Amino acid sequence: MLNGKHIILGITGSIAAYKAAMLCRLLVKEGAEVRVIMTPLAKQFITPLTMATLSKHPILVEFFNPENGEWNSHVSLGEWADMLLIAPATANTIAKMTTGIADNLLLTTYLSARSKVAVAPAMDLDMYAHITTQQNLQTLAQRGVAIIEPAAGELASGLIGKGRMAEPEDIVEQVKAIFAEAEHRTLAGKRYIVTAGATIEPIDPVRYITNHSTGKMGYAIAEELARRGAEVKLISGRTTLPAPKGVERIDVLTAEDMYNAAVKEWNKADGAVMCAAVADYTPAVVADHKLKKSDSDMRIELKRTKDIAAALGANKGSRIFVGFALETDNEEANAEGKLQRKNFDFVVLNSLRDKGAGFAGDTNKVTLIDHTGSQEHPLMSKREVAAIIVDKIETLNS
Ligand code: C5P
């Protein structure tokens, strides 16, 4: 997983520096090439000899070698690195990183590094909890530095609380996750709309018309698009799901609200996935008071709603446009009709006749239909379905 990755392991002056030995060993074992930079104080906590032996390279501390004047170039180190991992990171180093102080080789390398940067804080609980440290960490996080959270437990001072550096095994896992995430950012810079969930069409202040959509499929697609780096606006009808990480959710109620939000966002988007179960009809008038029952039957007059997908499709241009078709009969023919009518690039067909497909549950069985043919997929989780849909979006994008 870390095979061939270039990692600079920065070690600062914390008692947790002894754990850097194990961390270095694990990184090397995973196939990474590791170069170690220590701050001058770090040498008091762990010997350069230990770290040089484990990393299989001389360690770096000073800007130059005092014996022969050889320059340790922070610029070429910064260029070499795929990741700068500072573990342990003291409050002092974290503070200097936020302000750009560059008084040792580790800090100048940080300022020169174009790679991903991660810090694993290690300090006493009060130092860690201090508003200054917390704000500094927040600043670094906002600038894209990954923060590997410290663990709670007994600290070197004898106090018990949060501040102990994460365990080397956990740090390695997070390093892997950071690389994995970075490498899937294939849609970075692209803006996508996803519509999801059920619309609600009020009859009166108490009753409404809706459907069985849970929003799970649309939410999984929004999450997958965001994971690959896209900026996602999730226009969501009723659902009980939380907004996925990194996704901006726009809550709407009726088909009309969803239409307005989608049309507005479409101007700024590079593509859309229309996953919402939108009401085709809505009460012609919404009573402003609760309708009373009587002995006779009642009729509610319904009028057509606007077709959101058709409206966006009419103004698609070269943008990527994906629709859904949930059918109970004549599936392929109906889906192909939608592909043409709404100007989709492809339609995700699911049939309510297939067990495990449709609204309920966490699985779906889909066929992707585009203008050249169709591709049937086996039953899989909605998350996996989201991945194959986004895979297809990526091929259209490139
Ligand atoms: O025509 P039908 O509703 O079956 O088409 C389904 C596709 O059209 C889905 O992608 C759905 O999200 C979208 N749609 C829409 N606005 C509507 C009705 C459907 O965006 N009013």
Q: What is the domain partition of the chain in residue ranges?
A: 6-182, 191-397
Q: Which residues are catalytic?
A: 211
What integer pLDDT is reported at residue 42 of this predicted model? 97
- How many Å lie between the centroid of ligand 1 and the Cα of residue 322? 11
Q: How far is the CA of 268 from the centre of ligand 1 (A)?
A: 21
Ligand 1 centroid to 341 CA: how many Å?
Answer: 11
Give the model's pLDDT for residue 72: 80
Ligand 1 atom with least separation from CA of 323: 10
> Is the separation of the CB atoms in 1 and 178 below 8 Å?
no
pLDDT surpasses 80 at 212: yes
How much is the pLDDT for 157? 82
At residue 390, the 3 state secondary structure works out as helix
**Rounded distance, CA 250 to CA 243, Å?**
10
| Ligand 1 atom at minimum distance from 307 CA | 21
Of 299, 252, 246, the residue nearest 277 (C-alpha): 252
CA of 311 to the centre of ligand 1 (A): 10
pLDDT at 67: 78
**Token pair of 359, please?**
């609204």
Q: What is the pLDDT of residue 344?
A: 98
**The pLDDT of residue 155:** 83
- Average pLDDT of the chain, as a whole number: 94
Taking the C-alpha atoms of residue 243 and residue 229, their distance in angstroms, rounded to an integer, is 16
How close is the Cα of 231 to the center of ligand 1, in Å? 23
Asked if 360 and 380 touch (Cβ cutoff 8 Å), the reply is no
Identify the weakest region by mean pLDDT among 43-52, 73-82, 104-113.
73-82
**Band of the pLDDT at 351, cuts 50, 70, 90?**
confident
- Position 279 scores a pLDDT of 98
Q: For the segment 230-247, what is each residue's pLDDT rounded down to a tens digit?
A: 999 999 999 999 999 889
What is the pTM for the complete model shown? 0.63
Residue 182: pLDDT band with limits 50, 70, 90: confident
Residues in contact with ligand 1 (CB, 6 Å cut-off):
195, 255, 274-276, 278, 305, 307-309, 323-325, 338, 342
Strand partners, 146: 118
* Closest CA to ligand 1's atom 5: 325
Q: For residue 160, what pLDDT is reported? A: 87
Q: What residues pair up with 36 in beta bridges, in sequence order?
A: 9
Fold of 191-397: Rossmann fold (3.40.50)
Distance CA 113, CA 73 (A): 12
**pLDDT on residue 285:** 97
Which residue CA neighbors atom 14 of ligand 1 most closely? 309
pLDDT at 140 > cutoff 80 = yes
Q: Check residue 76 and give its pLDDT.
A: 85
Residue 49 has pLDDT above 80, yes or no: yes
Atom of ligand 1 nearest to the CA of 326: 4
- Would you state the pLDDT for residue 245? 86
The length of the chain in residues reads: 398
Residue 114 has a CB neighbour count (10 Å cut-off) of 10
Residue 128: pLDDT band with limits 50, 70, 90: very high
Nearest-angstrom CA–CA distance, 118 and 144: 9
Q: Which CATH superfamily is domain 6-182 in?
A: Flavin prenyltransferase-like (3.40.50.1950)
- Please tell me the residue having the least CA distance from ligand 1 atom 8: 309
Is the pLDDT at 5 greater than 90? The verdict is yes
H-helix or E-strand spanning residue 375: strand 374-376
Q: Mean pLDDT over residues 87-95, rounded?
A: 98
Q: How far is the CA of 350 from the centre of ligand 1 (A)?
A: 13
Q: Which residue among 219, 308, 389 is best mutated to probe the pocket of ligand 1, counting the most ligand atoms within 8 A of its Cβ?
A: 308
Checking if the pLDDT of 262 tops 90, the result is yes
* Chain center to CA of 282: 36
- Of 141-150, 207-216, 292-301, 327-336, the range with the lowest mean pLDDT is 327-336
For a substitution probing ligand 1, which of 239, 257, 258, 274 has the most ligand atoms within 8 Å of its CB? 274
How far is Cα 117 from Cα 233, in angstroms, rounded to an integer? Answer: 28
Fold match between domain 6-182 and domain 191-397: yes
Ligand 1 atom nearest 309 alpha carbon: 20
pLDDT reported for residue 158: 85
Q: Average of pLDDT values for 325-337? A: 91
Q: 370 pLDDT exceeds 80?
A: yes
- Which pLDDT band holds residue 84 (cuts at 50, 70, 90)? very high
Tell the residue nearest (CA) to atom 2 of ligand 1.
325
* Mutate which of 209, 265, 324 for ligand 1 pocket (most atoms within 8 A of beta carbon): 324
Task: Check residue 359 and give its pLDDT.
Answer: 73
Residue 136 has pLDDT above 90, yes or no: yes
> pLDDT-based confidence at 83, cuts 50/70/90?
very high
